[in-house]
Amino acid sequence: MSDDHPAAPGPQTANGGKLLCFGEMLLRFSPNQNELLLQSPALTVRPGGAEANVAVALARFGAPAAMATVLPDNALGQATRDEVRRYGVDASPIVFSPGRMGLYFLTPGAVRRPSEVLYDRAGSAFVERVADAFDWDALLDGYEWLHVSGVTPATGPNGSRAAVELVEAAVRKGVRISYDGNFRGKLWEQWNGDPPGTLGRMLAGAEVAFADDRDFALVLGRRFDHADPGARRRLAAAAAFEAFPRLQRISCTLRVQESVADQALSAVMLTRGANGEVIETAAEAIHMTGVVDRVGGGDAFASGVLFGLWSGWSDQEALDFGLAAAGLKHSVPGDFNLFTAAEVRAAMGDGGFDIRR
């Protein structure tokens, strides 16, 4: 955690109003580089959480982003609130309540060893109190966009109820909804929830979904069998557009890994056509050697694409911007993507890797 310095403002853009991100904020504990968890006593603490990652990135890009969550009314909760606020996020919707802070432990991968996440968020202030902490209609007043994810309902009955009620309130109020699948099997396994039913009710309200064929197979209860991954995505998109009439765009990244540190990332956007066809937009792969931290990369991608749509850009420009933002996130430790829109734009060019003086 760091001192409270004012955020550097990003470029202002003709836009579609204020954006609200909703979900649980966590503290992340990680061992020293390349160590296993508790191999030595030292742990680095950083704030995180899928929706907070998006809020921070949007604010750094220059969008008016706010974060709504429930935090414990203690030093940990207040410090976590201050971390998003220092990057330009409006933290006024955050509710403080008695309870504990949600935590997670990340053991970063190396060479052929994948990263491993251990959650310690049961009984957190958010998990226990989120369902009754907000008046949903009042919370949404003044916002054009709502960003939610599949993490919130996975946290338990209160999170499921809150996520569905908030999405349904946003639909009633005409707030545009961005949904990130973010399926968390480890969380769903801890209680007797209904992932297909709950996530389907959230998707029913979404205009934009960051999801792939596996997400839609789960929600729709069907398989999309095809040897070609691109064909599977198009089949899933067609089924999703048919099942969810509000849904207009589906986007996801595609990752190829040679090792933990050597990866290639590309992206696609599938759009509902005027005559019911699926229109595909693709972004060419970027190759990343020496990956520092991939956690939050999907949130960086979602925030970049959402920023592009919010700004009124074409699908191609929004997709390219999102992929470049995701690539930059892999270069810094922590969940947050701290690059400005100008820095993402620079990464989209071919300026090389010389020192910028």
Residue 24 falls inside a structural domain:
yes
Residue 208 falls inside a structural domain:
yes
Residue 295 falls inside a structural domain:
no
123 Rama class: left (phi>0) / alpha (psi -120 to 50) / beta: left
pLDDT digits (tens, 9 = 90+) for 204-226: 999 999 999 999 999 999 999 88
One digit per residue, pLDDT tens: the chain, 357 residues?
A: 544 433 333 333 446 799 999 999 999 999 988 899 999 999 999 999 999 999 999 999 999 999 999 999 999 999 999 999 999 999 999 999 999 999 999 998 888 888 899 999 999 999 999 999 999 999 999 999 999 999 999 999 999 999 999 999 999 999 999 999 999 998 999 999 999 999 999 999 999 999 999 999 999 999 998 888 889 999 999 999 999 999 999 999 999 988 888 889 999 999 999 888 999 999 999 999 888 988 889 999 999 999 999 999 999 999 999 999 999 999 999 999 999 999 999 999 765 555 555
Euclidean distance between CA atoms 89 and 222, whole angstroms: 39
Number of domains in the chain: 1
Q: Are 347 and 70 in contact (CB under 8 A)?
A: no
Euclidean distance between CA atoms 46 and 2, whole angstroms: 9
Per-residue pLDDT at 5: 36
Which CATH number do you get for residue 99? Answer: 3.40.1190.20
Model pTM greater than 0.75?
yes
Residue 275 falls inside a structural domain:
no
Residue 31 falls inside a structural domain:
yes
For the chain, the average pLDDT equals 92
Residue 165 falls inside a structural domain:
yes
Euclidean distance between CA atoms 252 and 266, whole angstroms: 9
Per the structure, the complete domain to which residue 39 belongs is given by: 18-247
